[in-house]
């Protein structure tokens, strides 16, 4: 975490204030306080996953979606659940949406099962739209690669455009539409792997490692005991949206950072171990993520450290590697070095 | 894993290893660095006297470039033929260009004479050297066998630099021997030490990838071996002197000379055949076979110390090794049957035989005793001594590394008026018939007698029967008509002497000596051919030591006069195509003479130290240059350190961080490549916790909304005080003294 | 004809040279040592004598002394090592896998405190082993990576004691009697998936046994069982649809597998092993590897056949005819041939055999190495840098695939390391390279 004195104080003192109205004017302190509330809620519920929680947080506030990849039983669902519960609907949406929905993808799922269907209403003698499970703030999509490409595609449209189209009628999703998808590792039987183009829509693909020994012990110890989750303050939808806006507008992204990002992308495309490099979209998506991380670290500007920390989760799933090369993170960490070095040197030049 | 390219690969099962597999492994970097230093030192040492400063700089650049490029090419997988062809072609091209630049007039006009020379030197020592070294380096990396070329190159450059000392010219090379001699050190000791050292250093060239410990252990062991070998070869038993045939000519030089007969415009005055002398018989080789010492640098073969002052009557001293008297179809050969007056064994101190005396032949009435000491440098089968030696005494060898033998000689030299010899017969009565026949045998060719008869016919009737006068007439004839040249050898003829005498009358000393001997013999004058050295003392400036060079080898006739003994009767042709005698190297003469007198410094210890090479100037200019560099870097250091205090506010976030990083770099704490600033700050948080804040301030200034300069300088002060508190004062002191720490700040 | 003559000449030459080379192992001088020794000898006894060159004399004396000392040290060092390895255990595990590094329990002295000396270790039998030796506290530990499969009854190591300058070296061999079996590596976890995809293109075979629940639906193709047809859907849309098992990718059942042993067949052996051990040939399969006496339907037996086929690389698919004789002809419709990526006589035999079959067999070719960077080089750059390094399995694979596809066979090219199937683009790049 940051060592800026003021950031330190905020993190330590952050009082659990009740949620304010949507028109609240954001300050950096306030924004950090919102994020720390969500983080505190999640850390309370999910043990030993602080690294993943931070990434999920970045995706939430950076307006992206995450894909978790792990073997079954590693706490993906718990994590998503915790996030959904951390968000409180403060009733400012036009109509009430659930904070959290979970979808289990199976091979026999149909697109309408997730987007919703047009129902004939006998009373009004008209069709009206019945919302599917995507109409929520936080959507957990379990085992996204178990369903057919058709269903995957409809979800991905929703993710990219924040809208669903049923019978030529477009329905807007909430601004705070956040998808946590999980998938099993590729070699499991009977899967429909997501193509690269679709993976590109996820801000992060997070490979979850097994948690630390102590955390695992704690999980066992606390199993079955009711958790006093209600003690902790939640963050409201409008707070989160305001924080997003604040991050977008107030965290400075220097032209040097833009240069470094473009250079990294070019280096990744030129690397001989890479068949298909990262897209321009990924760079655009990266900026809010970097801004969010900067906020979390108590800064009002994006620094090289942010790029260095986020490079692997940002880009590892967006590249196709030459057969025989497994580890995208190695390629990425090789490729980010020269641009970051140039960036570091630039800051020492008067 | 730092490799960023995936260049295909070979079938390992681990795909991550592919990048490295494509690269050929070469020697480790440390080993290459040591080799580079070796090559630089050795080659520049060799080239220093050969080229200009520009050439030297070009050569140094070429050496470094060749090492780096060859390593790169090898690890990248360049093919061997391509490397060899490329390297040789590059070299050849550079050489041609260099010649062109030097020889082409218009270029010289364009560049100026000096410019043309510099350009040509740079091309030759930069370009050509690069090509050659590249090829050698590449080969050495691709096969262990080729490393021998590399090692030999290193050895050669040192050997070449010191090659002037060969053949006991111990006063060469000057830069070295002057130093050694003036410090009272025997140069041979240092030279051998040099040889041992250079071989031990060249050993590095054979290493590849060694663990440090093993390499050090082995080198220590090798040094012990070197010292042992040095002590062994320093022993008396090993004779480093020239092994020659009878006349101081080495066998390989003889063959060299045969090849260069056509252009032997050397400078030595007299020449002789090289019969196999004491090695028995001598009928294998014709004595006419031409053997010159016509190299640029004549080789010393012996030093003679005169005990008394002695001036040769005609200015020429004859040192005889051997005589040839036995007629052998076309020429005279050595045969000891009757030549008892010639000493053919060395006096041996060890065997207790003591002095060796010759059979008395010379009448003391006509001779004077001259005592001398001879110190042979080249090995000779028989003792060399001033004519006519009657007694040889063993002497202690003063320096066994330089001299092969030492003995005292008592010689009987002809003294007084030649006219006293007149009126005596040549052959004394007491000679037996066999002896008489032995010294009078001539070829079965009537022309000898006919010619000699014609010659003596015009003799003044008063002296018609005087054999000395007859001999003089014959001598005059040969001197007048003969033409001394080494270009006509007559070796293809069945009878070279006849071919010379009745043909062109052009030849060299062997021809003159044999012709004279046969003509004398046909007139009934007993004669033989003596072989040895004839030293012209007229060109000398005096001194009691006489240095005999191999180039003084000579053959001359001797005649016998009853009641007197054998008399040197040399022919001096009036016509000659030989250039005048080379001036004797007085320096070497006195040096070797002093060494013979057991003064290892060659009498130079008192000389003032006049180093011809400006060591001190170079040393001072290097020190001055280093000092200047040091001052400049301290200047930069101080400027960067003080900048936060005086710099503008707008850049304070840069100046402060830079000054803080400089401090850390001074004590060796630097950021790794690719490490972000924040991570570095976190890494050094134990030393300077506030560096993180300073880094944030810097980044905020450079990438964010800017910082408050006062706040920044406050943090900077905090960093400074933390640095003072947490770094040991001694380390800080060293850091403050470190002039180049700032260069590592990134 | 000419080629055989050439081979004959070559083999007689090697027969002549090989004993000489072996004898040279015991001569403690290397070519470098001999050359340097001769130069030093000449310099010491001839040049320096005749020229009275003290520098040369000392240099050559030291060189001679060092070479002599190296020879003596190497001689004693190798005697010492020979003595110490006399009773050593072979220490090789009974089973190794190709391409997998394994540490053996064998260790020997590194002669750490002997100046000049170093010890290297290699295997002379079986050949084709990558041996790396790790020096740890004065002991040499050995790691082997087999490159090819096989079954052996003994292991022969070659010890080389040499000096660090390369002047002298002595090599000696020791043999340990012990069984050793080198199995083809199983490849990656992805291998199974890609093999599935490669073997069935995502459709289950009509004749296959259904597995899982019938949840999928697809269009009817001739041969589908009548009972799977969805008559309701037919009534609605007039289209014949069939139900399909849940598992979208199902293997062909009851296949007949044949493994061709030839040059560069190691990747192919890995694939064949994956097929056998993961049951991709179906439950009721028949498998025969080159040179095995009879076909088997036991998985373990099949793997052993693959291992043993290393010895039968010369017969080049001769066993295919015996497979045709023993197996019911109807079953040969489902023939899978595991073929190497390099040309050879086997190719003609397979083509000829395929013509006798009613349906062309499926051929699975497996390659190895990195499939990257097939830049074409100009003639000059070829002269300087040579051909770009490429795995031997990739050089001829395009020709082999073309020849097989021409006769109507279905050819799949797999990549062993990644377990991916090579797509056409990559094959095209390989073709361009030639």
pLDDT at A2: 38
Instruction: Specify if A245 maps to a domain.
Output: no
Residue B271 has pLDDT above 50, yes or no: no
Which residue from A minimizes the CA distance to C194? A187
**How do strand A138-142 and strand A178-183 relate by DSSP bridges?**
parallel
CA distance C433 to B695: 51
Determine which of B294-308, B408-422, C279-293 has the lowest per-residue pLDDT on average. Answer: B294-308
Same domain for A263 and A346?
yes
Q: Which of the listed residues A240, A262, A278 is the one where a domain comes to its end?
A: A240
* Distance of residue C1 Cα from the nearest chain B Cα, in angstroms: 32
Using CB atoms, pick whichever of B1, B18, B673 lies closest to residue A324.
B18
CA neighbor of A238 nearest in space, from A1, A21, A13: A21
What are the φ and ψ backbone dihedral angles of C338, each rounded to 5 degrees?
-95, 110
Q: In this structure, what CATH number is given to the domain that contains residue A53?
A: 3.40.50.300
- Check CB contact under 8 Å for C190 and A187: yes
pLDDT digits (tens, 9 = 90+) for B295-329: 556 677 788 888 877 777 777 888 888 888 888 77
Half-sphere exposure at residue C218, Cβ-oriented, CA atoms within 13 angstroms: 14
Asked if A305 reaches chain B (Cβ–Cβ under 8 Å), the answer is yes
pLDDT digits (tens, 9 = 90+) for C406-425: 888 888 888 887 777 777 77
**How do strand C214-219 and strand C241-245 relate by DSSP bridges?**
antiparallel
Same domain for A216 and A284?
no
Instruction: Specify if A104 maps to a domain.
Output: yes
What are the φ and ψ backbone dihedral angles of B608, each rounded to 5 degrees?
-65, 150
Q: Peptide bond preceding C126: is omega within 30 degrees of 0, i.e. cis?
A: yes
CA distance C269 to C306: 7
Q: What percent of chain B has pLDDT over 90?
A: 7
CA distance B115 to C104: 68
Average pLDDT over residues C203-223: 55
**Average of per-residue pLDDT values in chain B:** 77
User: 3-class SS at B436?
Assistant: helix
Same domain for A256 and A118?
no
pLDDT at B549: 79
User: 3-class SS at C387?
Assistant: coil
> Which of B5, B8, B704 has the highest number of chain A CBs within 10 A, making it the mutation to test binding with A?
B704
Same domain for B260 and B359?
yes
Indicate the helix (H) or strand (E) that contains B118.
helix B105-121
Which residue from A minimizes the CA distance to B2? A334
Residue B277 has pLDDT above 50, yes or no: no
Q: In this structure, what CATH number is given to the domain that contains residue A312?
A: 1.10.8.80
CB B656 within 8 A of CB B694: yes
Same domain for A279 and A335?
yes
Using CB atoms, pick whichever of B661, B671, B678 lies closest to residue A303.
B678
Contacts of B650 (CB under 8 A, 6+ apart): B709
Determine which of B3-7, B232-236, B362-366 has the lowest per-residue pLDDT on average. Answer: B3-7
Which residue from A minimizes the CA distance to B672? A341
Chains in touch with B (3+ beta-carbon pairs under 8 Å) read A, C
Average pLDDT over residues B441-448: 84
Length of chain C: 434
> Which of B199, B203, B255 has the highest number of chain C CBs within 10 A, making it the mutation to test binding with C?
B199
CB pairs under 8 A between B and C: 197
Contacts of B451 (CB under 8 A, 6+ apart): B501, B502, B519
Residues of C in contact with A189 (CB under 8 A): 247, 249
CA neighbor of A314 nearest in space, from A340, A342, A287: A287
C142-162 exposure pattern, b = at least 16 Cβ within 10 A, e = fewer? bebbbbbbbeeeebbbbbbbb
Residues of A in contact with C246 (CB under 8 A): 107, 190
pLDDT at B9: 31
Q: B471: phi > 0 → left, psi -120 to 50 → alpha, else beta; which?
A: alpha
Average pLDDT over residues B171-180: 72
Average pLDDT over residues B643-661: 84
Give DSSP secondary structure letters for B286-337.
Answer: -TTSEE---SSSPPEEEEEEESS----TTSEEEEEEEEE-EEETTEEE--TT
CB C193 within 8 A of CB A186: yes
Chains in touch with A (3+ beta-carbon pairs under 8 Å) read B, C
pLDDT digits (tens, 9 = 90+) for C238-269: 777 777 655 444 444 567 889 999 888 888 89
Give chain A's domain count: 2
CA distances from A306 to A205, A302, A314 (A): 17, 7, 11
- Check CB contact under 8 Å for A322 and C372: yes
- Check CB contact under 8 Å for B152 and C57: no
Both tokens assigned to A7 = 């950031």
pLDDT digits (tens, 9 = 90+) for A152-174: 888 888 888 888 888 788 888 88
Q: Which of the listed residues A187, A220, A240 is the one where a domain comes to its end?
A: A240
Q: Which of the listed residues B580, B596, B612 is the one where a domain comes to its end?
A: B596
Same domain for A290 and A341?
yes
Beta-strand (E) ranges in C11-149?
95-97, 102-109, 117-125, 129-136, 139-146
- Check CB contact under 8 Å for C373 and A272: yes
Same domain for B413 and B478?
yes
pLDDT at C5: 54
Paired with B559 in beta bridges are B527, B567
Same domain for A307 and A350?
yes
- Check CB contact under 8 Å for A300 and B676: no
pLDDT at A265: 93
Instruction: Specify if B280 maps to a domain.
Output: yes
pLDDT at A262: 94
* Distance of residue B342 Cα from the nearest chain C Cα, in angstroms: 28
- Which of A331-335, B115-119, B377-381 reaches the highest mean pLDDT? A331-335
Using CB atoms within 10 Å of the CB of residue B164, give its burial: 0 to 12 exposed, 13 to 18 middle, 19+ buried. middle
- Check CB contact under 8 Å for A324 and C372: yes
Contacts of A209 (CB under 8 A, 6+ apart): none
CB C295 within 8 A of CB C327: yes
* DSSP label at residue B743: G
Q: Where are the domains of chain C?
A: 26-183, 189-204+251-433, 214-245
Q: In this structure, what CATH number is given to the domain that contains residue B383?
A: 3.10.620.30
Give DSSP secondary structure letters for B204-229.
Answer: GGG--S--HHHHHHHHHHHHHHHHHH
ipTM beyond cut 0.90: no
- Check CB contact under 8 Å for B746 and A322: no
What is the span of the domain harbouring residue A93? 1-14+25-240
Geometric angle at alpha carbon B653, from B651 and B657, rounded to 5°: 120
Same domain for A335 and A202?
no
CA distance C154 to C178: 5
Same domain for B388 and B514?
yes
Show the low-confidence residues of chain A (pLDDT under 50): 1-24
Length of chain A: 350
Asked if A345 reaches chain B (Cβ–Cβ under 8 Å), the answer is yes
* Distance of residue B149 Cα from the nearest chain A Cα, in angstroms: 39
Same domain for B634 and B588?
no
Instruction: Specify if B18 maps to a domain.
Output: no
CA distance B697 to B717: 13
CB atoms within 10 A of CB B227: 14
Instruction: Specify if B726 maps to a domain.
Output: yes
CB B375 within 8 A of CB B401: no
What is the span of the domain harbouring residue B670? 622-744
* DSSP label at residue B379: B
Average pLDDT over residues B154-165: 84
CA distance A33 to A39: 10
CA distance B662 to B665: 5
Using CB atoms within 10 Å of the CB of residue B542, give its burial: 0 to 12 exposed, 13 to 18 middle, 19+ buried. exposed
Residue C210 has pLDDT above 70, yes or no: no
Which residue from A minimizes the CA distance to B647? A350
Same domain for A184 and A302?
no
- Check CB contact under 8 Å for A308 and B679: yes
CA distance B270 to B260: 17
Contacts of B101 (CB under 8 A, 6+ apart): B107, B111, B116, B119, B120, B123
Confidence tier at B46 by pLDDT (50, 70, 90): confident
Residue B449 has pLDDT above 50, yes or no: yes
Same domain for B630 and B548?
no
Same domain for B477 and B352?
yes
pLDDT at B2: 34
CB B533 within 8 A of CB B331: no
Confidence tier at B351 by pLDDT (50, 70, 90): low
Residues of B in contact with C417 (CB under 8 A): 13, 15
**Which residue reads 């900048």 in tokens?**
B643
- Check CB contact under 8 Å for A324 and C249: no
pLDDT digits (tens, 9 = 90+) for B666-697: 888 888 887 888 888 988 888 888 898 898 88
Instruction: Specify if A20 maps to a domain.
Output: no
* Distance of residue C369 Cα from the nearest chain B Cα, in angstroms: 5
User: 3-class SS at B522?
Assistant: helix
Both tokens assigned to B491 = 């070796």
Residue B232 has pLDDT above 80, yes or no: no
Residue C304 has pLDDT above 80, yes or no: yes
Confidence tier at B1 by pLDDT (50, 70, 90): very low
Geometric angle at alpha carbon B365, from B363 and B368, rounded to 5°: 90
Instruction: Specify if A67 maps to a domain.
Output: yes
CA distance B264 to B256: 11
CB A349 within 8 A of CB A278: no
* Distance of residue B20 Cα from the nearest chain A Cα, in angstroms: 13
Q: Which A residues in the span 90-109 are in contact with C, Cβ-Cβ below 8 Å? A: 107-108
> Which of C202, C212, C214, C370 has the highest number of chain A CBs within 10 A, making it the mutation to test binding with A?
C370
CB atoms within 10 A of CB B260: 13
Name the residue with higher pLDDT: C245 or C133: C133
Asked if A302 reaches chain B (Cβ–Cβ under 8 Å), the answer is yes
Indicate the helix (H) or strand (E) that contains B558.
strand B553-561
Instruction: Specify if A19 maps to a domain.
Output: no
pLDDT digits (tens, 9 = 90+) for B610-638: 445 566 788 889 899 999 998 999 999 99
Residues of C in contact with A108 (CB under 8 A): 215
Q: Which of the listed residues B596, B631, B656 is the one where a domain comes to its end?
A: B596
Which residue from B minimizes the CA distance to A321? B6
- Which of B60-69, B118-127, C400-409 reaches the highest mean pLDDT? B60-69
- Check CB contact under 8 Å for B696 and A347: no
Asked if A273 reaches chain C (Cβ–Cβ under 8 Å), the answer is yes
Same domain for B518 and B630?
no
* Distance of residue B230 Cα from the nearest chain A Cα, in angstroms: 55
Give DSSP secondary structure letters for A77-128.
Answer: HHHHHHHHHHEE--S-SSS---SEEEEE--TT--HHHHHEEEEEETTTTEEE
Asked if C247 reaches chain A (Cβ–Cβ under 8 Å), the answer is yes
Half-sphere exposure at residue C428, Cβ-oriented, CA atoms within 13 angstroms: 3
CB pairs under 8 A between A and C: 41
Determine which of B267-276, B362-371, B439-448 has the lowest per-residue pLDDT on average. Answer: B267-276
CA neighbor of A348 nearest in space, from B658, B71, C87: B658
A279-301 exposure pattern, b = at least 16 Cβ within 10 A, e = fewer? beebbebbbbbbbbbbbbbbbbb
Determine which of A160-169, B150-159, B712-721 has the lowest per-residue pLDDT on average. Answer: A160-169
Instruction: Specify if B86 maps to a domain.
Output: no
Q: Which A residues in the span 148-177 are in contact with B, Cβ-Cβ below 8 Å? A: none
Give chain B's domain count: 2
Asked if A228 reaches chain C (Cβ–Cβ under 8 Å), the answer is no
Instruction: Specify if A246 maps to a domain.
Output: no
Same domain for A202 and A132?
yes
Number of H helices, E strands in chain A: 13, 13
Confidence tier at B135 by pLDDT (50, 70, 90): very high
Contacts of C428 (CB under 8 A, 6+ apart): none
CA distances from A14 to A6, A10, B532 (A): 12, 5, 114
How far does Cα C78 stand from its chain's mean position?
Answer: 33
């Amino acid at each position: 975490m940051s060592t800026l004195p003021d950031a330190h104080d905020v993190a330590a003192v952050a009082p659990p204030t009740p949620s304010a109205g949507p028109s609240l004017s954001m300050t950096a302190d306030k924004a950090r306080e919102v994020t720390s509330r969500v983080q505190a809620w999640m850390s309370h519920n999910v043990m030993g996953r602080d690294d993943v929680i931070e990434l999920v947080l970045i995706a939430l506030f950076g307006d992206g979606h995450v894909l978790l990849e792990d073997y079954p039983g590693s706490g993906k669902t718990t994590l998503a659940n915790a996030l959904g519960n951390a968000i409180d609907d403060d009733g400012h949406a036009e109509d009430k949406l659930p904070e959290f929905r979970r979808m289990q993808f199976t091979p026999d799922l149909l697109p309408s099962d997730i987007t919703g269907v047009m129902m004939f209403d006998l009373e009004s003698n008209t069709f009206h739209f019945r919302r599917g499970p995507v109409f929520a703030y936080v959507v957990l999509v379990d085992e996204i690669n178990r369903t057919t490409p058709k269903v995957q595609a409809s979800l991905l449209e929703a993710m990219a455009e924040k809208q669903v189209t049923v019978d030529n009628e477009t329905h807007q999703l909430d601004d705070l539409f956040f998808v946590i998808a999980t998938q099993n590792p590729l070699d499991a039987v009977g899967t429909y792997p997501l193509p690269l183009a679709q993976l590109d829509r996820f801000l992060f693909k997070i490979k979850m490692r097994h948690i630390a020994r102590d955390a695992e012990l704690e999980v066992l110890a606390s199993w079955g005991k009711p958790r006093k989750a209600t003690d902790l303050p939640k963050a409201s939808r409008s707070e989160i949206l305001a924080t997003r806006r604040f991050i977008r507008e107030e965290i400075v992204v220097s032209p040097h950072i833009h240069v470094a990002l473009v250079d990294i992308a070019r280096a990744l495309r030129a690397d001989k171990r890479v068949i298909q490099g990262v897209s321009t979209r990924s760079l655009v998506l990266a900026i809010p993520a970097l801004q969010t991380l900067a906020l979390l670290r108590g800064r009002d500007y994006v620094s090289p450290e942010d790029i260095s920390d986020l490079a692997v989760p940002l880009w590892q799933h967006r590249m196709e590697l030459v057969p025989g090369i497994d580890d995208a993170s190695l390629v990425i960490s090789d490729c980010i070095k020269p641009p970051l070095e140039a960036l570091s040197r630039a800051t020492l030049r008067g | 894993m730092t490799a960023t390219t995936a260049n295909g690969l070979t079938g390992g099962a681990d795909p991550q290893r592919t990048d490295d597999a494509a690269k050929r492994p070469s020697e480790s970097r440390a080993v290459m660095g040591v080799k580079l230093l070796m090559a630089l030192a050795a080659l520049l040492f060799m080239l220093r006297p050969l080229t200009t400063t520009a050439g030297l700089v070009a050569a140094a650049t070429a050496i470094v470039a060749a090492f780096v490029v060859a390593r790169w090419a090898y690890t990248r997988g360049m093919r061997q033929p391509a490397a060899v062809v490329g390297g040789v072609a590059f070299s050849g091209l550079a050489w041609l260009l260099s010649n062109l630049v030097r020889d082409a007039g218009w270029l010289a006009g364009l560049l100026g004479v000096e410019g043309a020379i510099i350009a040509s030197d740079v091309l030759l020592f930069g370009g050509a050297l690069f090509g050659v070294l590249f090829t050698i380096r590449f080969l050495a990396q691709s096969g262990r066998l080729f490393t021998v070329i590399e090692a030999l190159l290193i050895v050669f450059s040192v050997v070449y630099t010191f090659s002037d000392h060969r053949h006991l010219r111990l006063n060469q090379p000057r830069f070295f021997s002057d130093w050694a001699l003036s410090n009272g050190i025997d140069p041979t000791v240092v030279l051998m030490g040099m040889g041992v050292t250079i071989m031990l250093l060249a050993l590095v060239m054979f290493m590849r990838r060694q663990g440090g410990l093993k390499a050090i252990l082995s080198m220590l062991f090798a040094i012990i071996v070197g010292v042992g070998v040095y002590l062994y070869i320093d022993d008396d038993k090993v004779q480093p002197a020239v092994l020659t045939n009878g006349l101081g000519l080495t066998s390989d030089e003889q063959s060299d000379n045969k090849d260069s007969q056509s252009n032997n415009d050397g400078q030595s005055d007299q020449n002789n055949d090289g019969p196999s002398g004491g090695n028995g018989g001598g009928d294998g080789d014709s004595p006419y076979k031409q053997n010159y010492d016509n190299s640029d640098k004549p080789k010393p073969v012996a030093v003679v110390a005169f005990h008394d002052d002695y001036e040769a009557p005609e200015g020429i001293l004859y040192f005889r090794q051997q005589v040839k008297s036995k007629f052998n179809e076309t020429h005279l050969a050595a045969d000891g049957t009757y030549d008892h007056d010639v000493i053919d064994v060395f006096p041996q101190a060890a065997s207790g035989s003591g002095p060796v005396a010759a059979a008395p032949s010379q009448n003391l009435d006509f001779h004077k005793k001259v005592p001398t000491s001879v110190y042979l440098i080249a090995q000779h089968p028989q003792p060399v001594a001033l004519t006519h030696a009657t007694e040889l005494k063993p002497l202690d060898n003063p320096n066994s590394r330089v001299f092969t033998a030492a003995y005292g000689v008592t010689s009987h030299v002809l003294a007084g008026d030649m006219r006293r010899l007149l009126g005596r017969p040549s052959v004394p009565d007491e000679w037996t018939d066999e002896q008489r026949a032995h010294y009078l045998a001539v070829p079965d060719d009537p022309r000898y007698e006919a010619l000699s008869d014609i010659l003596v016919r015009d003799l003044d009737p008063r002296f018609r029967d005087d054999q000395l006068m007859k001999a003089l007439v014959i001598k005059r004839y040969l001197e007048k008509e003969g033409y001394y040249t080494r270009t006509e050898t007559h070796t293809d003829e069945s009878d070279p002497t006849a071919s010379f005498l009745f043909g062109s009358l052009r030849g060299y000393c062997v021809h003159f000596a044999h012709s004279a001997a046969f003509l004398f013999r046909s007139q009934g004058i007993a004669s033989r051919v003596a072989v040895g050295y004839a030293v012209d003392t007229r060109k000398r400036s005096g001194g009691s030591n006489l240095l005999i060079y191999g180039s003084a080898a000579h053959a001359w006739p001797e005649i016998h006069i009853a009641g007197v003994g054998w008399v040197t009767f040399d022919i001096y042709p009036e016509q000659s195509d030989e250039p005048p005698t080379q001036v004797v190297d007085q320096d070497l003469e006195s040096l070797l003479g002093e060494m013979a007198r057991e003064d290892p410094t060659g009498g130079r210890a008192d000389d003032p130290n006049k180093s011809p090479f400006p060591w001190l100037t170079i040393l001072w200019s290097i020190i001055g240059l280093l000092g200047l560099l040091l001052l400049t870097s301290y200047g930069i250091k101080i400027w960067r350190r003080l900048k936060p205090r005086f710099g503008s506010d707008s850049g304070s976030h840069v100046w402060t961080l830079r000054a803080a990083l400089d401090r850390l770099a001074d004590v060796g704490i630097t950021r790794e490549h690719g490490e972000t600033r924040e991570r570095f700050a976190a890494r050094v948080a134990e030393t300077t916790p506030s560096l993180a804040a300073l880094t944030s301030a810097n980044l905020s200034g450079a990438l964010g909304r800017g910082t408050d300069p006062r706040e920044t300088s406050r943090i900077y002060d905090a960093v400074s005080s933390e640095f003072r508190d947490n770094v040991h004062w001694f380390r800080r002191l060293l850091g403050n003294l470190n002039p180049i720490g700032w260069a590592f700040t990134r | 004809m000419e080629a055989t003559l050439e081979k004959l000449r070559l083999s007689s030459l090697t027969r002549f040279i090989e004993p000489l080379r072996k004898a040279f192992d015991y001569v403690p001088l290397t070519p470098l040592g001999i050359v340097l020794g001769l130069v030093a000898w000449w310099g010491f006894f001839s040049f320096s004598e005749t020229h009275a060159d003290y520098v040369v004399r000392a240099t050559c004396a030291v060189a001679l002394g060092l070479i002599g000392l190296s020879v003596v040290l190497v001689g004693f060092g190798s005697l010492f090592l020979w003595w110490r390895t006399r009773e050593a255990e072979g220490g090789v595990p009974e089973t190794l896998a190709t391409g997998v590094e394994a540490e053996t329990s064998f260790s020997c002295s590194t002669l750490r405190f002997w100046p000049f000396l170093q010890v290297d270790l290699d295997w002379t039998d079986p050949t084709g082993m990558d041996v790396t030796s790790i020096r740890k506290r004065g002991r040499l530990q050995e790691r082997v990576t087999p490159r090819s499969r096989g079954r052996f009854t003994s292991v022969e190591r070659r010890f080389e004691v040499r000096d660090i300058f390369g002047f002298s070296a002595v090599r000696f061999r020791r043999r340990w009697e012990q069984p050793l079996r080198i199995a083809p590596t199983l490849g990656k976890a992805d291998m199974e998936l890609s093999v599935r995809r490669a073997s069935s293109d995502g459709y289950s075979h009509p004749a296959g046994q259904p597995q899982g629940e019938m949840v999928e639906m697809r269009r009817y193709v001739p041969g589908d069982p009548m009972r799977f047809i969805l008559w309701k859907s037919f009534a609605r849309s007039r289209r014949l649809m069939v139900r399909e098992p849940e598992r979208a990718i199902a293997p062909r059942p009851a296949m007949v597998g044949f493994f061709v042993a030839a040059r560069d067949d190691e990747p192919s052996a890995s694939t064949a092993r994956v097929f056998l051990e993961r049951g991709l040939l179906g439950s009721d399969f028949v498998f025969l590897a080159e040179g095995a006496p009879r076909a088997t339907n036991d998985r373990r037996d099949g793997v052993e056949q693959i291992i043993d086929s290393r010895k039968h690389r010369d017969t080049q698919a001769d066993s295919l005819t015996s497979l045709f004789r023993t197996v019911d002809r109807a079953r040969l419709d489902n023939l899978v041939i595991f073929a190497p990526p390099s040309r050879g006589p086997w190719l003609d035999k397979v083509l000829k055999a395929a013509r006798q079959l009613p349906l062309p067999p499926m051929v699975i070719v497996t390659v190895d190495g990195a499939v990257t960077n097939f830049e074409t080089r100009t003639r000059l750059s070829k002269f300087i840098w040579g051909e770009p390094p490429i795995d031997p399995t990739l050089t001829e694979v395009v020709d082999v695939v073309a020849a097989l596809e021409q006769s109507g066979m279905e050819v799949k090219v797999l990549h062993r390391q990644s377990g991916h199937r090579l797509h056409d683009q990559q094959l095209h790049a390989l073709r361009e390279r030639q």
